């Protein structure tokens, strides 16, 4: 209790004047800005990865299987008895490529043929009936078409087509949805499975199975665990991939960049920590009279160091709290302000959010705290070698 009363006196002595208060405030704001920069960067990287995975997961199930033989029958017995490893539902898809045209505009697209079973892995997805198609918002804007319009799709027919011409189909747009990933929004179209099977002449075969896992297995680590189990079951029959596999390299790059950038941004925190150092040196010079007198009447060097360590801890705590507020503000701005919208054709996503993991917060807290206190300790260790008597005479003369 007495020590805390001493801290109060210490603050009274050292921060009573306006310039010291101002310097302390500037130190806190500077340190909080630098901490918030590193936190925001880490949070943005994580937020990007999280949003990317969420967007990829929408309507795709957690696991994708493709056969090494190409096409396969959808009702074969390979996929029964998978409930034990967490597979809740299965939907079969026919995936192929096509060229979509309307009036004078055209675009290469991926066509996914789906049936009613698809609603088991994507509850609210509008399932197209025969003659219908569901397209993405970016594609509709690019081709200038809207709901109810007709879209022509051309499929390669090989030698089966008349004079080797492609098979063409005209489908009515049932719905326009906004896929969160720009690529999907611009390139993916969903048609009725029977229509697609007919267009490419594969009878009742499919080439993709999408698996939905139960709700307890939605984290990337758990999904990867199920993927490994399925790979051991379907070693030679099916290629088993998690839903993010198409973007796996990209997501790994983001993760790697996160750590590289955080190392570089640590320099920003270090520079801000030197503000604390400047503040100690400034206070020491400005309050030399008070310091020498306190030493003369019984303040021990150890206690003096402890007072400064406490003082700096308080400055660090305030800075960190302010930094977290800055992060919240920046997160809001990223989610809502137009100037922070991403070019989705480059980044796949139009918006990202700041998703800060507790682990990252604790690491930044620990590093900044340790660095500031180490600097403080070093500076105080090298206080003036001047004797007390000399210091008193000089300061009070």
Instruction: Indicate the residue among 204 and 387 with the shorter CB distance to another protein.
Output: 387
**Of positions 95, 172, 289, 351, contacts another protein by CB under 8 A:** 289
Bridge partner residues of 208 (DSSP): 66, 93
List the one residue from 4, 5, 69, 236 that touches another protein (CB under 8 A): 5
Q: Binding of another protein at residue 295 (CB under 8 A)?
A: yes
Cβ 209 vs Cβ 189: under 8 Å: no
Size of the site for another protein (CB under 8 A): 27
Position among 68, 329, 332, 396 found at the interface with another protein (CB under 8 A): 396
User: What does DSSP say about strands 105-114 and 87-102: parallel, antiparallel, or unpaired?
Assistant: antiparallel
Closer residue to another protein (CB): 6 or 157: 6
Q: How far is the CB of 306 from another protein (least distance, A)?
A: 11
Q: What is the spatial distance between Cα 148 and Cα 173, in angstroms, rounded to a whole number?
A: 5
Question: DSSP code of 88?
Answer: E
Of 85, 251, 380, 392, the one binding another protein by CB under 8 A: 392
CB closer to another protein out of 16 and 147: 16
Maximum distance among all Cα pairs of the chain, rounded to whole angstroms = 108
- The b/e string for 97-133 (b: 16+ C-beta within 10 A; e otherwise) is ebbbbbeeeebebebbbbbebbbebbeebebbeeebb
Per CB under 8 A, the list member of 97, 160, 300, 336 interacting with another protein is 300
* Binding piece for another protein, criterion CB under 8 A, among 12-20, 120-128, 214-222, 247-255: 12-20
Residue 131, phi-psi category: left (phi > 0), alpha (psi -120 to 50), beta (remainder):
left
**How many angstroms separate the CA atoms of 10 and 12, rounded?**
5
Contact of 193 with 96, CB cutoff 8 Å:
no
* Cα separation, 286 vs 280, whole angstroms: 10
With beta carbons less than 8 A apart as the criterion, state whether 32 and 319 touch. yes
Residue from the set 11, 13, 254, 373 that interacts with another protein by CB under 8 A: 13
> Which parts of 301-360 interact with another protein (CB under 8 A)?
301-303
> Which range, of 58-66, 189-197, 293-301, 309-317, touches another protein by CB under 8 A?
293-301
Which part of the chain contacts another protein (CB under 8 A), choosing from 124-132, 212-220, 291-299, 316-324? 291-299
Backbone angles phi, psi at 193, to 5 degrees: -60, -45
Residue 359, burial from CB neighbour count under 10 angstroms (0-12, 13-18, 19+): exposed
Provide, rounded to whole angstroms, the least separation between the CB of residue 377 and another protein: 16
| Distance between CA atoms of residues 303 and 40, nearest Å | 37
In this structure, is the dihedral angle defined by the CA atoms of residues 53, 57, 61 and 66, taken in order, positive or negative?
Answer: negative
Please enumerate in sequence order all residues whose Cβ is within 8 A of that of 395, keeping only pairs 6 or more positions apart, or say none. 288, 289, 292
Based on the shown chain and the rule CB under 8 A, indicate whether residue 383 belongs to the binding site for another protein.
no
Count of helix runs (H) and strand runs (E) in the chain: 12, 9
Site for another protein in 16-55 (CB under 8 A): 16-17
Q: Is 284 in the site for another protein (CB under 8 A)?
A: no
Q: Measured between alpha carbons, how far is 295 from 301 in angstroms, rounded to an integer?
A: 7
Give the nearer residue to another protein in terms of CB position, either 16 or 73.
16
Q: Judged by CB under 8 A, does residue 389 bind another protein?
A: yes
**Residue choice 215, 298, 338, 358 for contact with another protein (CB under 8 A):** 298
Angle between helices 18-57 and 301-336 (to 10 degrees): 40
Question: Binding of another protein at residue 294 (CB under 8 A)?
Answer: yes
Choose which of 58, 117, 152, 299 interacts with another protein (CB under 8 A): 299
Q: Which of 78, 115, 132, 290 binds another protein (CB under 8 A)?
A: 290
To another protein, the closest distance from the beta carbon of 289 in angstroms equals: 7
Residues of this chain that bind another protein (CB under 8 A):
2, 5-6, 9, 12-13, 16-17, 289-290, 293-303, 387-389, 392, 396-397
């Amino acid at each position: 209790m007495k020590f805390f009363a001493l801290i109060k006196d210490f603050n009274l002595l050292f921060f009573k004047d306006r310039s010291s208060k101002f310097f302390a405030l500037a130190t806190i704001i500077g340190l909080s800005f630098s901490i918030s920069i590193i936190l925001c960067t880490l949070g943005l990287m994580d937020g990007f990865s999280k949003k990317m995975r969420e967007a990829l997961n929408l309507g795709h199930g957690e696991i994708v299987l493709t056969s090494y033989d190409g096409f396969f029958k959808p009702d074969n017995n390979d996929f029964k008895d998978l409930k034990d490893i967490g597979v809740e539902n299965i939907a079969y898809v026919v995936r192929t490529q096509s060229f979509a045209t309307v009036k004078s505009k055209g675009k290469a697209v991926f066509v996914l043929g789906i049936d009613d079973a698809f609603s088991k892995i994507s509850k609210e997805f509008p399932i197209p009936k025969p003659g219908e198609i569901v397209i993405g918002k970016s594609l509709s804007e690019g081709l200038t078409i809207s709901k109810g319009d007709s879209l022509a799709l051309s499929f390669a027919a090989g030698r089966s087509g008349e004079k080797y011409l492609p098979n063409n189909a005209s489908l009515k747009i049932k719905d326009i949805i906004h896929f969160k990933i720009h690529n999907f929004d611009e390139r993916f179209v969903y048609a009725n499975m029977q229509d697609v099977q007919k267009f490419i002449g594969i009878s009742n075969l499919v080439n993709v199975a999408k698996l939905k896992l139960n709700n307890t297995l939605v984290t990337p680590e758990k999904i990867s665990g199920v993927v490994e189990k399925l790979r051991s079951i379907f070693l030679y029959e099916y290629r088993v991939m998690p839903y993010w596999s198409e973007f796996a390299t990209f997501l790994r790059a983001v993760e790697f960049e996160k750590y590289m950038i955080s190392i570089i941004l640590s320099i920003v925190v270090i520079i801000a920590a030197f503000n604390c150092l400047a503040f100690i040196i400034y206070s020491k010079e400005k309050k030399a009279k008070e310091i020498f007198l306190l030493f003369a009447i019984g303040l021990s060097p150890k206690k003096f160091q402890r007072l400064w360590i406490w003082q700096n801890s308080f400055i660090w705590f305030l800075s960190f709290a302010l930094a977290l507020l800055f992060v919240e503000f920046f997160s809001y701005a990223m989610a809502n302000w137009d100037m922070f919208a991403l070019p989705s054709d480059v980044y796949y996503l139009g918006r990202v959010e700041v998703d800060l993991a507790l682990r990252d917060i604790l690491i930044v807290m620990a590093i900044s705290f340790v660095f500031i206190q180490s600097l403080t300790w070093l500076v105080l260790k090298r206080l003036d070698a001047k004797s007390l008597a000399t210091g008193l005479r000089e300061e009070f003369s």
